[in-house]
Structure 1
Amino acid sequence: SGSSDPYCVVKVDNEVVARTATVWKSLNPFWGEEITLLLPRGFHSLTIYVLDEDTIGQDDVIGKVSLSHQQISAEPRGVDSWLSLAPVNPDQEVQGEIHLELRVPERGHPRVLRCHLIEARDLAPRDASGTSDPFGRVSCCGHTLETAVMKKTRFPRWDEVLEFELPEGELGEAVLSVEVWDWDIVGKNDFLGRVEFLLDTLCPGSTRGWFHLQPFPSTTEDHGGQLGALRLAVRLLEDTVLPSHHYQPLIQLLTEPILCPAQPPEGTALAVLEEVTSGESRQDVASKLVKLFLGQGLAVPLLDYLTTRELARTTDPNTLFRSNSLASKSMEHFMKVVGLPYLHEVLKPVVNHIFEEKKYVELDPGKMELSRGRRISFKGSLSEAQVRESS
């Protein structure tokens, strides 16, 4: 048909956390959706997949954009740009971790490297049953060994030790490669992830831990740029939260003008904070203040206080609340925190009912389908009131 029905799926470390609405029959969709996620501090990547929804059969994957934790955190103001969609390669869609213990002898002849494959967890499902048949493949110094196959599991436990004799002298750029594969009785095995270690970087003795599985390095052919681009605005906020008693002096200082309104307003901590807050950080300061005062049960008095100060400073009524002020930003965030759940509770049943009915409703005659216009033309033209009543 020359068009698509695109939507986006958001994954964090290959776990689906959000989905956008579908934009029907468009090659230039606009979603305009803002998604807030609470992420674990140790997450590795954020990936957005663009798919084409099909009413019959499986949805088609158009492409993806992937951002690593390092890429996002390196931009304090966030990533805001057009990013080319990359094709989705099954060998790049890996997830999970592997538990290894590596023993490198400091000296001796022969020097034997012992790689203990203990277990893996949360591997990608490659079989139709939603599981995999994983086995480990370890390569070092031109030799390759494999573990046994664990059937129908994404959490295999091998507990096998594979040994490799190291060459004499300097190891140079010798690499220990640990790969996990899904065994298939018919066809080729499916790649599940890999971990690599430079032997020179391994400390003599024992190294043990969980290691995040990585995909094969992408090649230049993987990024043709012919799949379109996705405009993203991504910002990572990392907060360190201490026990509540550490914040009591600050809370008392900030709530003082609310609890003691007789105090002169200009010398309060809130007034000083409002004066020194820059335009770029005002949104963040407002969100933190609203959350803090909500926790104290003083959100409404806070908004009254900030609004009163805004009214006192505004000389032209036409510009009231149009400035990028702490009062306007605080009110905006308060409505998101409090008003959004209210709208969901009130409007969600109505919106769901409209979708379930699947009735054709269009009040603009210019947008009505020609075929439907012909069907109803012999009945005479319908007024807007009649359309609303029959829908």
Structure 2
Amino acid sequence: DAKHLVPNKMRDFFCTINLDQEEVFRTQVVEKSLSPYFGEEFYFEIPRTFQWLSFYIYDKSVLQKDLRIGKVSIKKEDLCNYTGKENWFMLQPVDSNSEVQGKVHLELKLNELITDNGSVCQQLVVHIKECHGLPLINGQNCDPYATVSLVGPSRNDQKKTKVKKKTSNPQFNETFYFEVTRSSSYTKKSQFQVEEEDIEKLEVRVDLWNNGNLVQDVFLGEIKVPVKVLRNDSFQAWYLLQPRENGNKSSKTDDLGSLRLNICYTEDCVLPSEYYASLRNLLLKSPDVQPISASAAYILSEVCRDKYDAVLPLVRLLLHHHKLVPFIAAVAELDLKDTQEANTIFRGNSLATRCVDEMMKIVGKHYLKVTLKSVIDEICESPKPCEIDPIKLREGDNVEVNMENLRYYVDKVFREIVQSSISCPTLMCDVFYSLRHLAAKRFPS
């Protein structure tokens, strides 16, 4: 959820999750609020490298482009500091300088040349090869170009690459030449040396830009390399693009509001899929193994320190291969054999109940929202007192009125649930039919 968002009037907000500049998830729009509660959970696997995990708050517009209010960006290296707990983050302003990402591949070299009149010239060769992972502009690949400059106290020589169309990974492969020093006369002392005072103050600067055509070009990032580190050696490397040095030194920004997040980030070494083929096949055979406690899926859940570590990927695997219903039925039947009282059916934290729980989160979340959202909204927007505990009643409370309010809400929720049977996901219906059949068999009365 978020709070105290600007502008300070009721607006319609939504939030996006981005890996670098790629949007991977978008919440529903929360209407007419300054402190929207999203309450959405998003689970995803990351198939590629990334630098930043970002959350953007948007003001939804019907006729114009949606307005970005602010963002929260967390470096990949810092995610471990926030994992597994709720944190409030202040929203930061969104501008081109704050959106810098990607890297550039450069080869730099100093050559010594002797001119026609015998003087020595140091020549700097800058070969800009390619860039990788440049940000998206308005959700689309950018039209990048680079400017290459040799900058010093009294010079700013600049050259420019060609514009590459619609790509975040442009291949420039262009070479630029700059004269670094020129001595007044050719001497033995200066033949293979660069004047130190010039070298100390010179630097190569590469700026990346998005070509705006009819609008202003957008800054994508820059890198700076001191010429003194080159000497007479060739130097080739990937450089991470950086914001402008004064990019975050502007006057104090307005309070844009804050966003509460609960992030859980884990990083595993995953081998190619063929390494897991044998295990996958064993897991998919689990519903047919007798007894079920000897199956690979059951054993896997027992050996994992936390059942959740095994249950979630197991449910996803069985669900994908249409094996989940028979597996839940098999482990539920094992649960029922150890159940002595009918009123304690499926009350424990067993493999069966955890599988059902994860299945409902994956399959039934949209159904739950569609079924109960209108009732919950009514309760939250105009809550009626429902306290009937004599100890907690306040002076002036009418327990009979509260009882009627509570009965009204309960009846409405129950009625919505009963009437929603036709929209209940088929998989959930199949699982619950199977569980009811097993329970009736175990406790016929």
Query: TM-score normalised to the size of structure 1?
Result: 0.68
| Residue matched to 1:146 | 158
Identify the residue that residue 160 of structure 1 maps to in structure 2: 175
SS at match of 2:48: coil
Structure 1 SS opposite 2:127: strand
Distance 1:245 1:138, change over 3 A: same
Which amino acid letter does the alignment assign opposite residue 159 of structure 2?
Answer: T
Structure 2 match to 1:376 = none
CA deviations on 1:66-104 (whole Å, 9 max, x unpaired) are 1122222x3494463111101112322235543422336
Q: Distance in 2 between matches of 1:256 and 1:59?
A: 49
Which residue of the partner structure matches residue 127 of structure 2?
116
Corresponding residue to 1:205 among 234, 243, 257: 234
Task: Specify the SS of the correspondent of 1:37.
Answer: coil
In the TM superposition, residue 334 of structure 1 has moved relative to its aligned partner by 3.1
1:193 to 193, 209, 221: 221
Return the offset for 1:29: 0.4
Partners of 1:247 and 1:139 in 2: CA distance: 53
Query: Structure 1, residues 180-233: CA drift from partner, whole Å, max 9, x if none?
Result: 235779997642211344678879534155x55332355365775711110112
- TM-superposed CA distance for 1:287, in Å, is 1.6
- For 1:302, the equivalent position in structure 2 comes to 327
Q: Does 1:226 align with 2:226?
A: no
Map 1:28-47; keep pairs closer than 5 Å: 28-47=35-54
Percent identity for Structure 1 against Structure 2? 28
Residues 282 and 296, structure 2, Cα contact 8 Å, conserved in 1: yes
- Is the 1:94–1:215 Cα contact (8 Å) retained in structure 2? yes
- Find the residue that maps to 2:312 and give its secondary structure: helix
Contact 2:144 2:208 in 1 (8 A): no
Cα distance in structure 1, aligned partners of 2:249 and 2:340:
60
d(CA) in 2 for partners of 1:270, 1:187 = 58
Out of 206, 218, 224, which is 1:178 matched to?
Answer: 206
Query: Distance between the aligned counterparts of 1:118 and 1:192, measured in 2?
Result: 17
Change (3 A) 1:140 1:335: same
Change (3 A) 1:339 1:62: closer
SS in 2 for 1:147: strand
2:243 is paired with a residue whose SS is coil
Give unpaired runs (5+ residues) of structure 2. Answer: 1-7, 112-119, 181-193, 383-411, 413-445
- Cα distance in 2, alignment partners of residues 136 and 213 from structure 1: 13
CA contact (8 A) 2:14 2:58 kept: yes
Of the structure 1 ranges 269-278 and 326-335, higher mean CA displacement relative to structure 2 is found in 269-278
Mapped to 1, the partners of 2:127 and 2:163 lie a distance apart of 20
* Separation in structure 1 between the aligned mates of residue 98 and residue 346 of structure 2, nearest angstrom: 49
Unaligned runs of 5+ in 1: 352-361, 368-383, 385-391
The Cα of 1:270 is off from its aligned counterpart by: 4.7
Q: Distance in 2 between matches of 1:317 and 1:200?
A: 81
- Computed over aligned residues only, the root mean square deviation of the Cα atoms, in angstroms, reads 4.7
Task: Say which is worse superposed, 33-42 or 245-254, in terms of deviation.
Answer: 245-254
Asked if the contact 2:208/2:221 (under 8 Å) is kept, the reply is yes
**Per-residue deviation, residues 238-293 of structure 1 (Å, max 9, x unmatched):** 44443455335545665676433158x4x665555444444xx4323102222344
Q: Does 1:48 align with 2:47?
A: no
Matches of residues 224-263 of structure 1 in structure 2 within 5 Å? Answer: 224=253, 226-251=255-280, 258-262=287-291
Cα distance between partner residues in 2 of 1:22 and 1:46: 21
For 1:94-133, what aligned pairs fall within 5 Å after superposition? 94-103=100-109, 113-120=124-131, 132=143
Where 2:25 maps in the other structure, the secondary structure is strand
Question: Which residue is equivalent to 2:89?
Answer: 83
For residues 308-328 of structure 1, the C-alpha deviation after alignment (integer angstroms, 9 at most, x for no partner) is 233344555545444443322
Q: CA deviation at 1:336?
A: 4.7
Structure number with larger C-alpha Rg? 2
3-state SS of the aligned residue for 2:37? coil
Q: 1-side partners of 2:77 and 2:161: how far apart? A: 35
Query: How many residues align structurally?
Result: 345
Q: What is the TM-score of this pair, normalised by structure 2?
A: 0.61
